[in-house]
Structure 1
Amino acid sequence: MKSIELYGHPVTTYYQVGLAMLGLCKQNYYISKSDIKTFAQAAMHDGLSYGQQFSVDTGAVAALALTCMQQESYQPANTIRNAAIKLLMKIFCAKDTQGIIGNIYSTGLAMQALIANDQLVPSEVWNRSNTLQEVLREIDAGAFTNAILASQILPPIQGKTYLDVDKLTCNWAVDTHVKSILQMDNLREITVTYTVIYGLLCSPSCSHYICLTVPKGTRLLQIMRLAQEKDQRFFRFTEKTTSLGPFITSIGGIDGSENDRTYWQFLNGSVPIPMGVAQYKPSNGENIIARLSKY
């Protein structure tokens, strides 16, 4: 909170701050009015966005924390309510025609935020059944084999949220439609272009690309390793193991920096990939870009 007040951003991320406040609220710990105001102001003034894009999963966790505060009568009540409403409207507006909210991996948390605030955004309005159908299709495709990601999507499939964790008896059964099936891709080959852009204001001379032919279903992390084998100078990379899978810390000897608030972002063309490099499977003809970006 001191970092937000002094520098305009947290030491880590607003996602972590929101998750911490949600945990404190659920345990009925004291949270000062000034900290609540600081958090709410970040939500009201688009502090939970990265660049010009609203972060759905961050907004959803923050909305759950604010909803908990409303339920537990934290103060100032109006500030909490106004911030929660703004976040919920942004989450609602992030839903596409297929039912995905943000991307497939932010949808579970977004569903939780909307379910917890059904009096403000009824499920009929945001078409919960449409979203649920799309989520179940992605589960069948093996999208949620990671335990952390599964823990975010399982509650809303059952109509629950993280706000219900202290009310469950743990004897409820998972719907038979919910299953995790890893499907084998066939071995038809595809061609993928992998481009690394090394600077924030980068000219073509500080970017390098390589065209690779790989079996269909090859994950991006495997493609990166193949590129590294072919050209150590430009495509070598380092990674850090996290609970959500590998996090790429450097490419071509250039590190992301917490001090400079830079990181390696991965895109399909101009669109950020919707999952981690260990899960994402490029399609034929994709141009995967690794770009040093600022957050």
Structure 2
Amino acid sequence: MVRELLRCMEESIQPHARSNPSVLLAMNLLGADIESPTYRLLLQEIKEEVVTRAQKAMTSGQVAEHVLALLSSCQDPRQVPAPEEPINLIPILQQKMHEEITHNVISWYNRSLDILTLCVVKEHDRGAAVALAKELLSPDSHLDVDTRAMAVLALVCENNTVPYEEHLIQWALGNVTNGLLDEQEKGKGMIGNLSSMGLAIQALESSRKFQAPRRWDRAQAFHMVQTHEQEYTQPMVIARVLPGLVGKSYLNAGRVPPRPHGDHAPAPFSVGVFQLPTLPLSSPTAPLMVQYSITNTLKNYFHYSTSVCVPPGSRLLQVLQVARDEKPQIFSFETVNYDHLGPFVVSIHGLAGNTTERTYWQFFSCWSPLQQGVGTYRPKNWEHIQAIFSTY
């Protein structure tokens, strides 16, 4: 089903047609072939669209879509090539968002999309996030499914960055996600309509810890999409539903990887560090989009997740380093080098393994334990590396 929908979406990419950043974002989240003529055409059109229209002819929501599309392509939205000088889309997005809010010409959907995008690039607008949470909790608010789903994605991203309003954010997330679950129950799997199912799936996949006391019926939602697969013909609708079908969301848009060169390039790591596979839908030269999460359920529970973009052929240690560089307070780690074995991770997020308590950090790829060395596990259709604090 995923491949058929992806093929249908890719067929919509035509020369001289208005480019669709949501299509490019979905292709990247699924690991599409970045060397294909279709992909290159769309990426080039997105860049040209930014140069000619971003500053004057786009709304904030349109700028946000282009930022996420470029990020997922491992392109820097702060340095979009232009004839005179590179364009920085981030201040353009911020200015347009504030102007639209001031003049009350922005929808709550676009506001949520803007908040999500700014959060992903670490330019948080905490005031806008708090205002969104209050709107979701207002008894006079009547937002459609798409808007509520996008708001969930935005607030899930903002949850750990607004400490003084943490309970408000979490209260809003619990309220909205449980409302979506109510609609799924009433609709026997359908959440809103077929068009809104894509964002709803992304939202519910990303907000599991706020769904109490229930958990959403993932299989029922996927079955509903599969049953109506033939009705998914519009590229935008397909672009929204595809990420959720492979466990991704717009939160996984990714970030620009470091581009070391010359004397600053890192030396190769030893075989003691696991080799990350390329994605089945990707070419050998495609950058890897890796979801990386750390989880401790043994004591003083914590769980954090991020997405990083790394060069093809990267090892696990490179993924950990990029995550640490982007969020050092969350994804810090320490290693110990062993002769003939190379570096091993002994501490993550300040939590170290303990031989007395028989605890250690264990790594998984899509829930399959990683063994020492390379080529010891079979990749899935997307890559999710998990570090779980475990006992032996």
**TM-score computed with the length of structure 2 as normaliser:** 0.38
Q: Which has the higher strand share?
A: 1
Greater RCO between the two (CA within 8 Å, min separation 6)?
2
**TM-score computed with the length of structure 1 as normaliser:** 0.49
